[in-house]
Structure formats: structure tokens, C-alpha cells
Amino acid sequence: MANILHIDSSPRGDRSISRALSYEFVTSWKDTHPGDTVTYRDLGRNPVPHVDEPWIAGAFSSPDTHTPELQQAIKVSDTLIDELLAADRLVFGVPMYNLNIPSTFKAYIDQIVRVGRTFTVGANGYQGLVDNSKKVLIITSRGGSFPAGTPSGAYDYQEPYLRAILGFIGLTDVTFIHAENLNMGDDAREKSLAGAKDAIAQAVTNW
């Protein structure tokens, strides 16, 4: 039995493609693995706070020196990190905003990438502390297409960033499913959605 951490980051409701596709995956996964549990967090509708000065003071000091104020400042971070560490598999629904990720998801990342909890710095430099046996599935929605190695691929700051920051904390088994060309006409949109749904069906079997 596995614990799935499912996170959506789109602020849209029924009109959200990333939200619909991540839900389709998790629902199909649960049908196939009924014993698994799901922890769900909706960052689009319930965003986590951005890092501020008290957060920095709390995160970069020893817990035994924390005042009640500093404990409160990093309480959300502790909760999110505990959720992450307790999960066996991670499913993220992430739309592309301005070639990158939504600020809601960036705020989440800033809360979970924390020295002493998810990474450390030693004699050999940075080291991720999160168990790298965890699998990550990221389902994105994009208005255009950004194939690697093409001129438009240079504009993709979403997948490279997510691979880098997740790898930084130790998560290296990362799979992407992109629903692309959503603003490129009905034919391109439907073709891309069909491809994404096929990839989701395969991921349910093979992930």
C-alpha cells in the first residue's frame, strides 16, 4: 500500500486542464490500486504563504533556539515537508504560466526546499535528503509546444526548473506528461489532450 501526495496548482476550477488530467490519473490509479491512500492539497484555491523574514529566521536557526513566533513562522513548512516525506509517490498538476510555473507552486517549493530538512550542505556540496526512491509524476498544461532542442524549446523554463529543484532535494525519478498546443486551434488541442490521456493510461499501468 502506497501513500500518494496529489497537488494541484491551477486557480481555475472546471476549466483547468492540469487539474482535470491530474484528477483523471489519481482516480484511475485508485481504481487499480484500491489500497493506496491519497493526500490532496489544492494550492490554486488554498495557496500557502510566501517565504518572509520570520520564516528565514526560523529555517536557518536551530530548533532549540526557536521562540513561539519562529515556531509559528515555519509551521506550514513543517507540515508540507512532513506530507512530502510521508508520501511514496507524488502527483503534481502544474499549468505553464509565462514559460514557467504558477506563483502558487513556487511558493510551495520555497516552503519545502529547506536546509536541514530536505537538503544539506557538506564537504561535497549540496545533498538532497529526500528518499530518491519516491516517484514523481508532473502533469502540465501549456498553450504552445516547447520541444527540447528546437528554438521554442529554449523558452521552456518549467520542466528544466522542476527537474533541477526536485533533484536538488533528492527526487530524481520524475516523469512529465505535457498537454501542449492548447491555444493552437481545436485540432491541435484535441490531438494533444488525446495524447496526454493515452500517456496517463500508460502511467497508471507502468508508473
pLDDT in tens, 63-101: 999 999 999 999 999 999 999 999 999 999 999 999 999
pLDDT single digits (tens) 123-174: 889 999 999 999 999 999 999 999 988 999 999 999 999 999 999 999 999 9
Pairing of strands 119-122, 125-128: antiparallel
- CATH code of the domain covering residue 99: 3.40.50.360
**What percentage of residues in the chain have a pLDDT greater than 90?**
95
Predicted local distance difference test score (pLDDT) of residue 58:
96
Per the structure, the complete domain to which residue 159 belongs is given by: 3-206
Mean pLDDT value across the chain: 96
Residues paired with 119 in a beta bridge? 115, 128
Cell output for 99: 514559460
Answer left, alpha or beta for residue 149, where phi above 0 means left and psi between -120 and 50 means alpha.
Answer: left
- Domains in the chain: how many in total? 1
Give 201's contacts (C-beta < 8 A, 6+ positions apart).
28
Instruction: Please tell me the distance from the alpha carbon of residue 115 to that of residue 117, in angstroms, as a whole number.
Output: 5
Average pLDDT for residues 34-60, to the nearest whole number?
97
pLDDT on residue 111? 98
Q: Is the pTM of this model over 0.85?
A: yes
| 207 — pLDDT class (breaks 50, 70, 90) | confident
pLDDT at 179 over 90: yes
Give the three cell numbers for residue 122: 557538506
Burial of 6 by CB count in 10 Å (0-12 exposed, 13-18 middle, 19+ buried)? buried
Distances (CA, A) of 1 to 87, 131, 152: 11, 17, 41
Give residue 30's pLDDT.
97
Complete DSSP assignment for 56-78? HHHHTS-GGG--HHHHHHTHHHH
